[in-house]
Chain A
């Protein structure tokens, strides 16, 4: 398992190959499909950022 965020996305973006070995949250080396993980991480991260933006704007309106 990885935590989706700018750091992971940057690592995935600069990986030249289709697969690579990355350390997961528990520092276990895992061989991954770079493009598949990049897509999943990008989607999860954007979902959370969009939800945060909506919540933030809602709070600003209430204030």
Chain B
């Protein structure tokens, strides 16, 4: 059974997701020793040289904008063809990572030993322990449990196909599902679609299999710097204006502030 990692990278006017994905591919090779594939619309082969495979596809046309807190501006957000990964992946067993997910250890290798057709993170947490992050683990008026699309591991299988097809159905009928789950946010998110899809496929039992550890996250209102290839410093200010910092060593995490990660990718240690 072939195994590999897939990263989506569609740049917008502010964020170079392909540069993030290339840097991530080098980290993946170093820690996981797995081949990488990028799904992108960038045809410049020099820019995709870090990947073992390149799948060229156009991003789904969208007028969807998202506000990026660290840039203090909105930009087009090409995130809605994630559900096509089952058809686009070159591998039988695929790990899908967001371009802003930082691989700093070999922990993700464990996912390939789990006997499940599809798993994703159920819970995420703020590594500083400062922000009220728990609200992000549920959505809508009725507190639907979130499944995070940041890290997804799936085998080419009927169940995975069903989940991705259902995500597509939810995306195509987002207005209906948004009203059904009473979601106040305008922006379509893959996390919402994945959460609803996994629950539908599992018969509305709210017992979907999850990755057996939580997703470490670094929010956009912290300052992220790199100390060495696998060590990062996160500086932040508490509610009573006290400056604090923590250091993460060999810990994978989701960098929600794209600007800080972009600066690290441009000048890595």
Interface, chain A (partner B; CB < 8 A): 1, 3, 24-26, 28
CB <8 Å contact, B115 and A3:
no
Residue B116 is within 8 A (CB to CB) of chain A in the complex: yes
Q: Give 13 A-B contacts (CB < 8 Å), ordered by A residue.
A: A1-B110, A1-B113, A1-B114, A1-B115, A1-B212, A3-B212, A24-B115, A25-B212, A26-B114, A26-B115, A26-B116, A26-B209, A28-B115
Question: How many chain-B residues does the 8 Å CB contact rule pick out?
Answer: 7
Q: Report chain B residues within 8 Å CB of A25.
A: 212
Q: Report chain B residues within 8 Å CB of A24.
A: 115
B110-136: CB near A (< 8 Å → 1, else 0) gives 100111100000000000000000000
B119: nearest chain-A partner, CB-CB: A26
B203-242: CB near A (< 8 Å → 1, else 0) gives 0000001001000000000000000000000000000000
Q: For the A-B complex with A24-B115, A26-B114 known, give 11 more contacts whose Cβ atoms are closer than 8 Å.
A: A1-B110, A1-B113, A1-B114, A1-B115, A1-B212, A3-B212, A25-B212, A26-B115, A26-B116, A26-B209, A28-B115
Nearest CB in chain A: distance from B35 CB, A: 23
